[in-house]
Amino acid sequence: MRQTATRLADGRDLIYFDDATTAPRTAVDHRDLPVAAVRSHLRCDPLTGEWVTFAAHRMDRTFLPAADDCPLCPTRPGHGTEIPDSDYDVVVFENRFAALGSRDTDTTPVDDERLWPRRPAGGRCEVVAFTADHDARYADLPHERARTVVDALAARTAALSRSPGVQQVFCFENRGIEIGVTLQHPHGQIYAYPFVPPRTRTLIDRSRDHRIRTGRSLQRDVLDAETRAGTRIVWSGRYWSAYVPAAARWPVEVHLAPHRDVPDLAALGDDERDELVDAQRDLLTRLDRYFDPAADPSPVPYIAAWHQAPVGEGREFGRLFWQLFSLRRAPGKLKYLAGSESAMGAWIGDTVPERIAGRLREVARDGL
């Protein structure tokens, strides 16, 4: 894989990740763009201790453009895009409408009240374009291209983890307008948070408590227990296993975990990355077969999220895993987070995990 770093017309960074070692890319972004500026800040909720990001400038971000106007497609004569070259393999660039990365230095509490601390929304937001093909799916990428995506995410995880002030690197893909996708081109994102997000904080706290009580790793024990039970295992290889968690929240949910204790993508070896690509494409293909396409032919909406160890405090309690889930509960029907889930955080499952696992195994047998 070859990396070529350049800058866009407004000063944002862009990095080409090419499948093979090719000549460095030299295309120039000729668009007339104002200098990129992130105007956002953080406020702390005194009731929960959670930091909330406020990024009002994102109200004007690009929303579901026509394919001919897609900003993630390669540049063509007379139509410049976020990728200056006429073709590419994988590209990572700073998000033009980033929620994080503000250079604001104001730390004055809101209304000068100490109850409401305010701080700059540092960190960084990046976009990862998986392929130049606007109509592709990640599941259909050839092995080499999907491996380049994994290598790019690992490289950016390592680089961003070294950035001052970054406490958590989060890589993810959203697919489907039901999820809130604003660009249909196959892509993912990377958030380098200047704080540890609530979900990671909970995982770390639970893992720390488990270590104190038992002397063991919580996520390792969960993987071992799922393997012993076998009832929710849906994929297993030499280096990875995928299972529907025993307390799955979403109508379809799978966790893909490495057999070895590793903190993040950057720590994976070559063989682990190769098998990871096979597992991801297999599971994503099963997801698209999960519901009856005759009843609802639209692509299954999903979020694919990489949970990685935080950069600083608590890192020793983190363990890498990939969470794939969909909010579609039946053809033409979505799971909405109503009163109990949204207001109280008390989840109500629409099915049982064992049934989800059975269906995922079934569609693998039928389709392979």
118-120 sheet: strands from edge to edge = 51-54, 41-44, 118-120
Catalytic residue list contains 143: no
Residue located via tokens 């993040």? 264
Residue located via tokens 């909330």? 52
Residue 184 to residue 177: CA distance in whole angstroms: 8
Residue 81 to residue 310: CA distance in whole angstroms: 34
Q: Where are the alpha helices (DSSP H) in 96-244?
A: 143-161, 198-214, 218-229
CA-based Rg of the chain, rounded to a whole angstrom?
A: 21
Structure tokens that stand for 84 in this block? 């200056």
Query: Residue 176: how many CB atoms within 10 A of its CB?
Result: 18
Query: Residue 329: how many CB atoms within 10 A of its CB?
Result: 17
Query: Residue 289: how many CB atoms within 10 A of its CB?
Result: 16
**Considering 41, 185, 187, 210, which one is annotated as catalytic?**
187
SS3 of 202-240? HHHHHHHHHHHHHCCCHHHHHHHHHHHHCCCEEEECCCE
SS3 of 243-256? ECCCCCCCCEEEEE
Distances (CA, A) of 75 to 31, 33, 71, 81, 134: 11, 15, 9, 5, 13
Which residues are designated catalytic?
187
